[in-house]
Amino acid sequence: MRTMLLAFACASLIAVIAYFGLNAAGFDAASSTAGPSVRLSE
């Protein structure tokens, strides 16, 4: 059972590391989906 709890704790830790790690590496979903300004070509 200790192994199971350790694995659950690691899953939580990985989630936190992934969040801060990806942000630090410059991955941000919002930057890909935002489209603030659009215009038609002349």
Partner 1 sequence: MIRTVLAVTFLWLTTLGAWAQDNPTPDRSATGGAQTLADIMARQDAMKLDDRFRSENLGDPESAADITQQLGTLGGQSDPDLWRALRYDAADVTTQSRGPAATTLIQDGGMQWLAFREGRLLRWGGYLLLGTLALLGVFYLIRGRIRIDGEKTGRTITRFKAIERFGHWLMAGSFVVLALTGLISLFGRKFVIPLLGHESFAVIALGAKWVHNNISWAFMIGLVMVFFMWVLENIPNRHDLKWVAVGGGLMKKGVHPPAKKFNAGQKVVFWSVILLGGSISISGLSLLFPFELPMFAKTFSHLNDLGITGLIGMDPLPAQLTPQEEMQFAQAWHAIVGFVLMAIIIAHIYIGSVGMEGAFDAMGSGEVEEQWAREHHSLWVDEVKAKNANQSATPAE
Q: Tell me if 39 contacts partner 1 by CB under 8 A.
A: yes
What is the Cα–Cα distance from 19 to 25, expressed in whole angstroms? 10
Note whether 33 binds partner 1 by CB under 8 A: yes
Regarding 23 and contact with partner 1 (CB under 8 A), the answer is no
The distance from CA 4 to its chain's CA centroid, rounded to whole angstroms, is: 25
Within the chain, what is the greatest distance between any pair of CA atoms? 67
Q: In terms of CB distance, is 24 or 40 closer to partner 1?
A: 40
Q: Which residues bind partner 1 (CB under 8 A)?
A: 1, 3-4, 6-8, 10-12, 14-16, 18-19, 27, 29, 31-41
